[in-house]
Chain A
C-alpha cells in the first residue's frame, strides 16, 4: 500500500532536493495571472471540485531553502508516489523540442493505441497543458512552424510537460514529466548545472541526428544544411554529439546509481528511408505498442549506426541497461525554409521508445 500523501517524500526534479510533499504550499495565479501567490486551504465543507473551480491553476512551491530561485511543481505531481522523469538528451540541433512536442501530441491523440498498450494518459497540469498547446503543438501541427530550439537555461531547468498516467490493468497512477534541456549547456558543462535533473531521471531518450551521425548514409537535397557532401564534393564525416559522452560519464560517476532505462532514437528517419532498406522497413510500421519486435529493431538500429561509421553514438549501449534502439521521426516530413507541410505532418514511431521505457520501469 502506498504511503499517505502527508508522509510522502519525493525528489524535486528541478533542484534535486528531497521534499516532503505535505510541506509544500499551494500557490495559485493572482488576479493579473502574473504572480504565483499562496492559496488558502479549502473552506470548511467546500468540495474539491468547487475549490478547483475557484483555483483552476494551482502549483506547489518547492520547499528547499538552498534552491537558487523559487520554483513550482504541478499541483498533483507528488500525489501518486515517485514521479517518473523522462529526460530527452541530444545536441543543440537534433530536434529535442520538436521530438517532445510530437511525443506529447501523440500521447494526447492516440487514445486507442495507448488503450491497446494498457494506458490512459491525461494532462497533469492545466496551465502547463494550455501553454504547451499554444507554444508548441499548435505552431507545429497547425501552422507547420519548425520550432525554435530550447533557450539556454542558466538557473533551474523548466519542466516541459507533465502527464497523469493510469495503468488500466492495475489501476496504479503515476505523474510523469519530460525535461528538454538545451544541448549546448549539456555539452559545455558536462554534468552539473542545468542538467542536474538527470540525477532524478527515471529514463533517458538519446536522440541521434542522422545529418550529423550518418551524413554519408543520408542523402539530403542540395543546399540543405545536412547536405551529405562538403563544398569540394567529398562526403561529410560523422560528427559526434558530445552530449552523449557528458551524460554517460556523468552518470557513471554517480555512486549507487540506480538502474535507468534508456532508448537511443535515430530521429528524422523518414529522410533515410530512401537509402536503407532496413530503415524503410521500420519507419512506416505502425507497431508502437508492440513490444515483441523491439529487440529486432534495436539490433537493426545498432547495425545501421555501426556500419555507417557512427559507433560513437552507441556509447549509451555500454552504460545503460535496459536499453533499446529505435528509428523514429517527429514530423515524418522534411521542413523547407523552416516550414513543414501541415497536410503531410505525421509523427512516426515517437511513442515506441517512450512505451519501451515505461515497460522497463514496470509502469506497463
Chain B
C-alpha cells in the first residue's frame, strides 16, 4: 500500500470523503425474520426431532422448549442492542458533520477576514494622508506575518508601492517660496517616511537572521523593484530568490552586504547616486549590470563577485550541436560544453581575456553578463563573434565551431522569420555525400591553380 506523506492532501479528513455506514433496512428485515425463525426452528427440532413419548422424553421436550424460548428472548435482546448501536452511530455521525461544518465556516470567516484586511490595508495605502498609508503598511505586514501563503502577494504590493513615481525632497523652501512649495516639500518628506517604512518592512522580513522563533523571516520571496526610487536602501543580510532592480534609482547609499540572491538579479540601467556596498553579497547567477551607473564607481566587491558556489557535475561527453531544435536546447548544450571544459562561468569570462583569440585579429573579451546572456538568456541575440569566443574559450575544436555556428544561425533564422531553414542534416547520408563532394571540388581547384589541370567535374 502506498504511504501518504505528511503534506499529502489524501491524508487529511477534509480531503478524502468518509463513508458513514448505518444499518440498512434490508439488514433489519433480515434480522427480524431470522430471530423468530431461529426460535421456531429450534422448538420444532426439539419437539419432533427427539425419539420416545415417555415421561422422561416429555420432560426433555419441555426443557428443550424452554431453552428454545430463552434463545429467542436472547436473540431479541441482541437485536435490540444492535438497534441501539445504530442509533449511537447515527448520533456520532451527526456530531462529526457538525464539527466539519463549523470548521469550514471558520475557514471561510478567516479567509473573509484576510481579504477584508487586505482590501482595507490596500485602501489605506492609497490614502492621501501619510499616517494612513503607514497604517496600511503595518496592516499588510501583520497580515503577511500571520498568513504565510499571502507573503509573496503582500511583498508584491509593497514593491508596487515603492515603484510608484517619487521625487525625494530637496532643501526646504525659504519663506518667500510660498505656502504651496512648503506644503509640497512637507508632503515629499512624509512620503519619504512612508517609503522608508516600506523598505524597512521588506528588510526586516527578508533578513536571513530575522528572529527564527518568531518566524520573522519570509523565505523564497521574489522582489520586483524595477524603476523604483529607493532612498538609503538597506538590504543587508537579506535573502531573496530573484530581484529586479532594472532602471531603479538608488538615492543616497545602498547596502547589500551579505545579501544572498538565489535567483536572477537584474540591475540593468540602475543608477546608484551614492555609495553602493556589496561586501560578501552572494549571487547564484551573475547580476545583470548592463547600463548600470555608479556615481562612486563600480564597487570593488561587485567586481570580484564569486558565483557558482554549488559544485556542478562535470559533463562527461563533449556535446555536439547536431539536431538542436530550440534556443533552450542550444543553451543546455553550450552549458554542457562549459562544464565539460571544467570551467565556471567566471572562468569563461576570465579566460576570454587571455590568451588572445586565434580567430579574431583583435582579442574579444567576454563580460560576465555576456556569458550569462549566452547560457541563460538570449543566446540568439548575442553577436556571432561572442559565441565564437565562448566556443573558443571552452575548448571547442575548430572543426566543430562551424557546426555550432550553423546550428545557432538556423535558430536565429527561425526566430526572426518563423520558419526553420534546416533542409539537410549534416549527419544524414546526403549530408555526408555532400561533404565528400565538397572535398573533391577543393582538390580540383588546387590542381587547377597548380597548373595540373585536374579532372573536370562530371555533370
The answer to whether A binds B is: yes
Interface residues of A (CB under 8 A from B): 112-113, 116, 219, 221-222, 273-278, 280-281, 284-290, 295, 298-300, 302-304, 306-307, 311, 317, 323
Interface residue range, chain B:
35 or more
State whether A277 touches B423 (Cβ < 8 A). no
What's the Cα separation between A290 and B357 when bound, in Å?
14
> Residues 427-449 of chain B: 1 if any A CB is under 8 Å from the residue's CB, otherwise 0?
00000001001110110111011
State whether B421 touches A274 (Cβ < 8 A). yes
Kindly state whether residue B337 has any CB partner on chain A within 8 Å: no
Interface residues of B (CB under 8 A from A): 359-362, 384-385, 388, 401-403, 405-406, 409-410, 412-413, 416-417, 419, 421, 423, 426, 434, 437-439, 441-442, 444-446, 448-449, 457, 459
State whether A307 touches B410 (Cβ < 8 A). no
What's the Cα separation between A269 and B90 when bound, in Å?
86
State whether B419 touches A286 (Cβ < 8 A). no
State whether A284 touches B442 (Cβ < 8 A). no
State whether B406 touches A274 (Cβ < 8 A). yes
State whether A277 touches B360 (Cβ < 8 A). no
A289 contacts across to B, CB distance below 8 A: 361
State whether B402 touches A303 (Cβ < 8 A). no
Looking at chain B's contact residues, the main secondary structure is helix
Given contacts A302-B445, A307-B441, contact A278 B402 (CB under 8 A): yes
State whether B445 touches A298 (Cβ < 8 A). yes
State whether A303 touches B406 (Cβ < 8 A). no
What's the Cα separation between A119 and B133 when bound, in Å?
71
- Most chain B CB within 10 A, of A276, A277, A284, A290, is at A277
Smallest distance from the beta carbon of B368 to chain A beta carbons, Å?
Answer: 22
What's the Cα separation between A317 and B412 when bound, in Å?
34
State whether B406 touches A299 (Cβ < 8 A). no
With A274-B410, A281-B401, A284-B388 given, can you name 15 additional A-B contacts, CB distance below 8 Å? A273-B384, A274-B409, A275-B423, A277-B403, A281-B402, A284-B385, A285-B359, A285-B360, A286-B359, A286-B360, A287-B361, A290-B361, A302-B444, A303-B445, A307-B437
- Most chain A CB within 10 A, of B360, B409, B413, B449, is at B409
> Which single member of B403, B405, B412, B413 contacts A284 (CB below 8 Å)?
B405
Given contacts A287-B361, A303-B439, A307-B434, contact A222 B405 (CB under 8 A): no
Given contacts A298-B445, A299-B442, contact A306 B406 (CB under 8 A): no
State whether A277 touches B445 (Cβ < 8 A). no
State whether A302 touches B409 (Cβ < 8 A). no
State whether B448 touches A317 (Cβ < 8 A). yes
A273 contacts across to B, CB distance below 8 A: 384, 405-406, 409
State whether A276 touches B413 (Cβ < 8 A). no
State whether A219 touches B438 (Cβ < 8 A). no
